[in-house]
Each structure stands twice: as structure tokens, then as C-alpha cells.
Structure 1
């Protein structure tokens, strides 16, 4: 199952300039999601991070992963119309710079869900398959 940008925006509340996922390429409701983010030079954060050497902030890579994970959990019928809130991150690692022209593949696998709380294993990779960011995300459904 895939989601266009419009379909994704019907599921999660994020909008420009904070919608950090372009499409969902693979979706197994309640199990996993794979998103895509095409990083362009005109992203708002590049104006200040850093003007001489634009680099996507690591925290925004984590947010893009969280939005991808939200698609995975909110695609379950019983969660339709609800919001997934970011609860925490463990073991965050940033391994490669993300720069204009990169295409990120954002993969989140839900490894634990108990009631309204869950945990997802998250990995972002660039177009060369190199890991740019990874961590364990905690979320709550509200």
C-alpha cells in the first residue's frame, strides 16, 4: 500500500513547512511504513543551518521518521482520526550529513504497542543506502 502526499496529510496533522515526508512508499498498517523525503535546496531550515554549507538538522530527520511511524500506527482502522504524539527517542545516532539533492528513505517498524503507547525502530538512509540517522521512537496515540 502507498500514500500520496495528499493522502498522508489526511492522516497526520503536519503541513508545510513541517511536513517532512513526501510520500509513503510501503505501508503495513500497524506494522511498518517506508516514507520518502526529497531534500531540496529551498527547504526553510537551510537558510540558517548552515548558509555556507546546508545540512539538514538531525532532529528534523528524527521528526521525518516520527511522521513516517505515525502513518504506520494511524493507518489502523481503530486509530483513524486520532493523533500520534512523539513521546521520546532512545539511542539516536547521526551517521551521514543530509544535504540538498539527497533522497531519504525513512523506515519505521513498530516493535511494541501496548494500549495507546508504542515503540518503533527507525532508520533513515540516503539514496546510496547509507544510514543517515537511526533510533528508537516512542509514541502515544491521543
Structure 2
């Protein structure tokens, strides 16, 4: 599933809210595709993409729009963000509309959605370039 996400060899991808329920095969696939381990939220350099694992219970600890703004901090122009949410009827499922609303607040827009594993769906977000 990682091959359809749009990441390329040599890119650095930052990961947010990874937990025990995150899809390990998907994570490993992204690492194999890019040739780099996923970097954590404290990574201080420019990244080419970001992955956010978001569940209903995560909203109790924070706001998705704020998290997306944090993800944008290190994101290079043209970089993309994938928000992975549990599929409907799975524990912690989140409506796609909630992700799209948070994206708008953060200055992003959704470009596509995909099934990225047996339990997870992904929403691809992009930002407008910082320079025009």
C-alpha cells in the first residue's frame, strides 16, 4: 500500500501519533520506499512528507488542525501529508469530514483518499507553495 502514497526514494518522512495500533506493514513500506526510517515529531530539519495517525481518542488530547500546523513547520514546499484514520466501524474511527475541516483550518486541502490497510484509511493533504 505504501507505493501508492507518493513518497519517493531519498525522501524524509516525519510521523506523528504513531502507536501500537499503527499499521506496521504500512510504516515499513514507507521506510522501504524512501530508504529512510520515519522520523519522529522532534526532528528538527526539513522533511519531504508527513504521516499523521489520528483516532477519535486523540481529539481528547489535542486538536488535529493544530497538529497539522505542527506538521507543516518542517515540511518542504511541495511536500504532502497523509492523515491515517481508522476505517468506519473500527475502534477510534473518525469522520473524513473532520479531517477535511481540520485541513482547511491549517491551510491545507485534501486531494485524495485511499484504503491503506485492513484497518486504516488515508486522506492525502497538500499545501500551497509558500512562495508565489
Give TM-score scaled by structure 1 length. 0.31
TM-score (structure 2 length as normaliser):
0.32
Relative to its length, the structure with more helix (as a share) is 2
Higher strand share: 1
Q: Of the two, which has the highest radius of gyration? A: 1
